[in-house]
């Protein structure tokens, strides 16, 4: 009860001007999000802004290697020795994985190609750069208008990063069906596709209408066979992201979803996580923005960045 009261206080003054931000297109998208649990936007597909940031992400990963370390090395996993981790879908800390000898650091790699060949990572994570272009995409105006209209107040962008997923032998955590539990009432995530996506390149899967469905709430992760027993891939409520690069899917991830694993190539996906503001949230900021770039954001965008994230 006290926690809910604190959160309500935290939202004080974070209303928004409906007449300014709720146009006909926004209201239509919000209704689709309410009805289906997700909505897809394609206004960035092929745009110069999107192509520029896509190139910056490629350069950051492949040339600068500014990814988060340590990384899990699929090549180091032994099916017998690490059976406990395999059974738990590698739900573990980086410290434990490192202690078990399953990770690699930046000092261990000579180049991007060496890293892929030597360590076979399943996932590489890139934190959002302190670059206005990145924030203009992660806080895209069309996206945040939908987000605040859906929630009824202006939430905060609490996580902002990108991941590159590769084909892998051992699936890890979010490769299995799950529900996000960051908040029981208010939670939206925007998925920004930086590569074309289909079943072969790691499509994202989501079960429409599953937010309030009581099935599959007892365990952390579920296998395809369990979910498909109720929602097979051809059913109308099983959403599969066969989309072009530049597509953004806004999703209530309290519903069942999973990250598909590529069979070929790789998949680059950006993540923007929106949660209600909370005075009690004391975690270290998961991204930062300079005062200069912050001041150049729109007034609406500024509201989404917690003060502690401005450096």
- The whole-number pLDDT of residue 259 equals 92
C-alpha closest to that of 228 among 258, 267, 264: 258
- The whole-number pLDDT of residue 1 equals 66
Domain ranges of the chain: 23-67+122-309
Thinking of the domain 23-67+122-309, which architecture would CATH place it in? Sandwich (2.60)
What average pLDDT does this structure show over 233-252?
Answer: 96
- The whole-number pLDDT of residue 17 equals 76
- The whole-number pLDDT of residue 211 equals 95
Q: Which long-range contacts (CB under 8 A, 24 or more apart) does 45-51 make?
A: 45/244, 45/245, 45/246, 45/247, 46/244, 46/246, 47/246, 49/133, 49/136, 49/137, 50/137, 50/245, 50/246
Torsion sign (Cα): 269, 294, 252, 24: negative
Confidence of residue 19 (pLDDT cuts 50, 70, 90): confident
Q: Please report, rounded to a whole number, the percentage of residues in the chain having pLDDT higher than 90.
A: 84
What average pLDDT does this structure show over 131-146?
Answer: 97
Q: What is the pLDDT of residues 25-37, one digit of tens each?
A: 999 999 999 999 9
């Amino acid at each position: 009860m006290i926690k809910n009261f604190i959160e309500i206080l935290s939202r004080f003054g974070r209303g928004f001007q409906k007449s300014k931000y709720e146009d006909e297109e926004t209201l239509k998208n919000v209704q689709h999000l309410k009805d289906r649990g997700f909505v897809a936007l394609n206004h960035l597909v092929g745009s110069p802004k999107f192509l520029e940031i896509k190139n910056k992400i490629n350069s950051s990963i492949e040339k600068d290697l500014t990814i988060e370390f340590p990384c899990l090395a699929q090549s180091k996993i032994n099916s017998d020795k690490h059976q406990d981790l395999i059974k738990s879908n590698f739900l573990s800390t980086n410290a434990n994985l490192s202690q078990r000898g399953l990770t690699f650091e930046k000092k261990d790699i000579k180049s991007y190609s060496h890293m892929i060949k030597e360590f076979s990572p399943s996932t590489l994570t890139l934190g959002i750069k302190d670059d206005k272009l990145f924030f203009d995409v992660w806080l895209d105006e069309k996206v945040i208008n939908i987000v605040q209209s859906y929630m009824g107040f202006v939430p905060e962008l609490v996580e902002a990063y990108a991941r590159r997923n590769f084909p892998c032998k051992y699936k890890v955590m979010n490769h299995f069906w799950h529900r996000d539990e960051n908040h029981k009432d208010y939670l939206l995530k925007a998925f920004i596709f930086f590569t074309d996506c289909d079943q072969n390149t790691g499509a994202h899967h989501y079960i429409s209408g599953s937010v309030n469905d009581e099935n599959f709430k007892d365990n952390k992760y579920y296998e395809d066979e369990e979910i498909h027993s109720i929602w097979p891939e051809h059913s109308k409520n099983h959403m599969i992201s066969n989309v072009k690069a530049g597509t953004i899917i806004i999703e209530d991830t309290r519903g069942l979803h999973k990250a598909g694993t590529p069979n070929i190539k790789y998949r680059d996906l950006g993540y923007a996580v929106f949660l209600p503001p909370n005075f009690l949230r004391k975690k270290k900021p998961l991204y930062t923005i300079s005062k200069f770039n912050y001041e150049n954001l729109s007034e609406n965008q500024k509201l989404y960045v917690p003060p502690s994230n401005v450096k």
